[in-house]
């Protein structure tokens, strides 16, 4: 088959029971598309034709970036076909084959996107009924797209095909009710399947029978993932998340990690105070100033055999799609952690108990005071913790007490006390659930201390390598710390193009920016370089890493470290060839200063080839003109 309709066939992409998928070219627009064709042997069966055409109509209703987009449908020489957008990427099934497993945070971020697409479908009363890694595509930018609505159904009374599809789907991912009567399956069946996909992405296998939760199978996975999975795969669908939106919120909370809700509580508030005092500022009252705060990243929970029970996935379908519960034998599953009792319980009869319930009562009360759950105060919380510490506390309780005292000290702010309390928390329970968070906050405090900067950076480096921390707020905080250490006048001068246009680059950076870069600032700029290098090495967010590399090149230039500046610029161009930053202009200026005219000329020309319409293009042209004149 070389063409179908107005589309030229390039190659076959895949083939399944309900049709073959080809890569083609839409001749009218000259773009690649994916074309699905119903097999010739199925076009004689009315129900398969109806199902094939229904898939096209359903997908056409769903306009969402996380759902494959429909372009066209029709018949050509007796063959039924429909045309979809071409996703230049791979399926999650291919990704699992390649990587075996994904980091829990990466898996959660992908499923968050799938939830957004699936929510769009559910809002239009479309149930997918075949959620699995093979039906989730990732494009070259990491955008997840839900595909293959071939056995989806409309839950609004429209025609359904059921005669030959009483239990259609993929068995490893099907909810129990799909095995008995697919007609009754609703959006909660998709939620069940998402739970199975979550487990497979993290552990590399689908759960069957009695299995270890992800936090045990893959150390470092937080127990919040266990709780999400446990609720998704409940046999009774009434005990699952009732909407995809509800599941989506839980997944996003797992990325944010446990964080205190009091606005001023956190190490960032204390660090802001340190910066302000170092600059000779006087802090206004809390009502007059907004103090930034870094929320707590997700921590790997302690993995203790007595605390983590095996999970159970029923291997037999339930006798009824919606079993009846009685208060005496069934309690809905909540987001609470798995109970620590060593006795095994089944999901239908267990009442989950929160890990917080195992804390010393006065420590729990103090935590409530800090969280403002009871309109409490920090003074009362401190008193309660001090009273609790007079008792013979377990290592876990003692670590929690020190951690809370560190939070209180950070809020005041009292950096020295906060540092000591976080350190005491680590010493009290080195493998406890608070250790990663305490180490992170201790590291941030060390960075703010003049005599502990290197030690703090090493603490964070070890932490990023050992713990899968959420970087959503930590990285921007480190970026701001770096910028605070750079002389703003110098950076503005570099941005405005003073260099090479007003005073001439060969006179040296100190003269170019009017002597702003003074010898006593060099140590601060060195530390800014160290922070930016750290972000460039460990940051997973492209935008922040791109910015860090650009600023790193400029910071090294301020120190007259031209080799390092050029190295950072080349790394930026290599990793982000489409960057909007005028990297080649920075390089051209450096080469001019080094009197390497040919390299400077090529840098300017390279920028014009890459960004001819950029606002900085005129600067590149003037650079070339000056070089030609000289």
User: Are 272 and 371 in a shared domain?
Assistant: yes
Q: Kindly state the tokens that stand for 334.
A: 């909540």
Contact (Cβ atoms closer than 8 angstroms) between residue 215 and residue 223: yes
DSSP per residue, 487-499: -HHHHHHHHHT-T
Domains in the chain, number: 4
Q: Kindly state the tokens that stand for 187.
A: 């959006």
Range of the domain at 407: 267-295+356-470
User: Are 465 and 513 in a shared domain?
Assistant: no
Q: How far apart are CA 11 and CA 86, in angstroms?
A: 13
User: Are 135 and 56 in a shared domain?
Assistant: no
Asked whether residue 453 is domain-assigned, the answer is yes
Here the CATH number for the domain that contains residue 549 is 1.25.40.10
Here the CATH number for the domain that contains residue 442 is 1.25.40
User: Are 175 and 230 in a shared domain?
Assistant: yes
pLDDT at residue 133, as a whole number: 93
Asked whether residue 103 is domain-assigned, the answer is yes
User: Are 116 and 237 in a shared domain?
Assistant: yes
Q: How far apart are CA 114 and CA 143, in angstroms?
A: 9
DSSP per residue, 153-192: EESSS-----TT-TT-S-GGG--HHHHH-GGG--HHHHHH
CA distances in angstroms from 225 to 191, 337, 471, listed in the order given: 14, 10, 18
| Closest-CA residue to 590 (of 550, 569, 562) | 562
pLDDT at residue 218, as a whole number: 92
| Those residues with Cβ within 8 angstroms of residue 58's Cβ, 6 or more apart along the chain or in another chain | 126, 149, 152, 154
| Closest-CA residue to 473 (of 201, 245, 271, 221) | 271
User: Are 172 and 287 in a shared domain?
Assistant: no
User: Are 219 and 162 in a shared domain?
Assistant: yes
| Residue where one domain finishes, among candidates 85, 110, 143 | 85
Here the CATH number for the domain that contains residue 132 is 1.10.510.10
Q: What is the mean pLDDT of each run of 10 residues along the chain (630 residues)?
A: 87 76 90 88 75 82 89 88 90 92 94 94 87 91 85 48 47 83 81 95 90 90 91 90 92 70 43 45 32 34 42 49 36 34 32 47 75 62 88 88 87 82 90 83 82 86 72 74 75 45 27 36 88 86 86 90 91 87 90 90 90 88 88
pLDDT at residue 416, as a whole number: 84
Pairing of strands 311-313, 209-211: antiparallel
How deeply is 604 buried, as exposed, middle or buried, from its count of CB atoms within 10 A (0-12, 13-18, 19+)?
A: buried
Asked whether residue 110 is domain-assigned, the answer is yes
User: Are 438 and 557 in a shared domain?
Assistant: no
| Residue where one domain finishes, among candidates 61, 85, 109 | 85
Contact (Cβ atoms closer than 8 angstroms) between residue 336 and residue 354: yes
CA distances in angstroms from 427 to 22, 181, 395, 402, 432, listed in the order given: 60, 56, 9, 10, 10
| Residue where one domain finishes, among candidates 235, 258, 281 | 258
User: Are 458 and 490 in a shared domain?
Assistant: no
Q: How far apart are CA 225 and CA 204, in angstroms?
A: 15
Please confirm whether the linkage preceding 104 is cis (ω < 30° from 0): no
Asked whether residue 518 is domain-assigned, the answer is yes
Q: How far apart are CA 62 and CA 121, in angstroms?
A: 6
User: Are 553 and 412 in a shared domain?
Assistant: no
| Those residues with Cβ within 8 angstroms of residue 207's Cβ, 6 or more apart along the chain or in another chain | 196, 199, 229, 233, 311, 313
Q: How far apart are CA 530 and CA 571, in angstroms?
A: 16
Q: How far apart are CA 228 and CA 247, in angstroms?
A: 8
Q: CA 34 from chain center: how many Å?
A: 29
Q: Kindly state the tokens that stand for 461.
A: 């480096």
pLDDT at residue 13, as a whole number: 84
User: Are 25 and 125 in a shared domain?
Assistant: no
pLDDT at residue 308, as a whole number: 54
Q: Which long-range CB contacts under 8 A does 574-582 form with residues at least 24 apart?
A: 575/545, 575/546, 575/549, 576/542, 576/546, 576/549, 577/610, 579/546, 579/550, 580/611, 580/614, 581/546, 581/547, 581/550, 582/607, 582/611, 582/614, 582/616, 582/619, 582/620
Q: Which helix (H) or strand (E) holds 74?
A: strand 70-76
User: Are 133 and 236 in a shared domain?
Assistant: yes
How deeply is 201 buried, as exposed, middle or buried, from its count of CB atoms within 10 A (0-12, 13-18, 19+)?
A: buried
Asked whether residue 99 is domain-assigned, the answer is yes
Here the CATH number for the domain that contains residue 22 is 3.30.200.20
């Amino acid at each position: 088959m070389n063409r179908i309709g107005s589309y030229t066939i390039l190659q076959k992409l895949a083939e399944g029971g309900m049709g073959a998928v080809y890569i083609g070219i839409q001749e009218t627009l000259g773009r690649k598309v994916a074309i699905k064709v119903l097999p010739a042997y199925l076009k004689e069966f009315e129900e398969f034709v109806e199902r094939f055409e229904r898939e096209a109509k359903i997908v056409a209703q769903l306009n969402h970036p996380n759902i494959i987009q429909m372009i066209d449908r029709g018949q050509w020489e007796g063959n039924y076909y429909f045309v979809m957008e071409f996703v230049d990427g791979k399926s999650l099934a291919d990704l699992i084959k390649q990587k075996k497993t994904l980091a829990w945070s990466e898996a959660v971020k992908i499923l968050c996107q799938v939830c957004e697409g699936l929510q769009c479908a559910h809002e239009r009363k479309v149930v997918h009924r075949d959620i699995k890694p093979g039906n989730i595509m990732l494009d070259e930018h990491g955008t997840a797209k839900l595909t293959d609505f071939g056995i989806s159904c409309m839950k609004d009374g429209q025609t359904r095909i059921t005669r030959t599809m009483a239990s259609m789907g993929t068995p490893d991912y099907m909810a129990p009710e799909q095995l008995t009567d697919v007609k009754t399956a609703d959006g909660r069946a998709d939620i069940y399947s998402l739970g199975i996909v979550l487990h497979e992405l993290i552990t590399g296998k689908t759960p069957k029978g009695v299995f270890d939760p992800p936090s045990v199978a893959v150390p470092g996975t937080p127990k919040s993932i266990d709780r999400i999975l446990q609720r998704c795969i409940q046999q009774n669908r009434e005990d699952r998340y009732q909407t995809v939106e509800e599941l989506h919120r839980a997944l996003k909370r797992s990325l944010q990690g446990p964080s205190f809700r009091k606005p001023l509580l956190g190490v960032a508030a204390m660090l802001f105070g340190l910066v302000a005092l170092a600059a000779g500022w006087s802090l206004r009252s809390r009502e007059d100033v907004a103090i930034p705060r870094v929320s707590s990243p997700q921590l790997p929970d302690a993995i203790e055999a007595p605390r983590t029970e095996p999970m159970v996935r029923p291997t037999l379908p339930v006798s009824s799609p919606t079993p009846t519960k009685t208060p005496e034998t069934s309690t809905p599953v909540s987001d609470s952690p798995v109970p620590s009792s060593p006795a095994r319980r089944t999901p239908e009869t267990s009442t989950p108990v929160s890990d917080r319930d195992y804390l010393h009562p006065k420590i729990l009360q103090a935590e409530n005071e800090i969280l403002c759950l009871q309109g409490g105060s920090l003074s009362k919380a401190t008193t309660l913790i001090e009273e609790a510490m007079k008792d013979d506390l377990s290592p876990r309780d003692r670590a929690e007490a020190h951690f809370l005292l560190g939070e209180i000290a950070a809020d005041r702010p009292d950096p020295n006390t906060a540092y000591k309390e976080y350190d005491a928390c680590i010493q009290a329970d080195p493998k406890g659930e608070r250790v990663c968070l305490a180490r992170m906050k201790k590291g941030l405090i060390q960075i703010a201390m003049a005599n502990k900067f290197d030690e703090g950076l090493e603490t964070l480096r070890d932490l990023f390598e050992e713990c899968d921390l959420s970087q959503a707020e930590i990285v921007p905080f480190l970026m701001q710390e770096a910028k605070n250490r750079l002389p703003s006048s110098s950076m503005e001068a570099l941005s405005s193009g003073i260099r090479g246009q007003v005073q001439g680059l060969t006179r040296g950076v100190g003269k170019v920016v009017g002597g702003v870069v003074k010898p006593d600032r060099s140590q601060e700029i060195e530390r800014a370089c160290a922070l930016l290098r750290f972000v460039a090495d460990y940051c997973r967010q492209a935008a922040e890493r791109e910015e860090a590399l650009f600023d790193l090149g400029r910071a090294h230039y301020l120190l007259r470290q031209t080799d390092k500046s050029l190295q950072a610029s080349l790394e930026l161009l290599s990793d982000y060839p489409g960057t909007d930053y005028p990297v080649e202009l920075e390089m051209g200026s450096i080469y001019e200063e080094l009197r390497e005219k040919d390299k400077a000329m090529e840098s300017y020309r390279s920028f014009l080839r890459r960004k001819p319409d950029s606002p900085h293009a005129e600067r590149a042209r003037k650079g070339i003109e000056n070089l030609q004149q000289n």
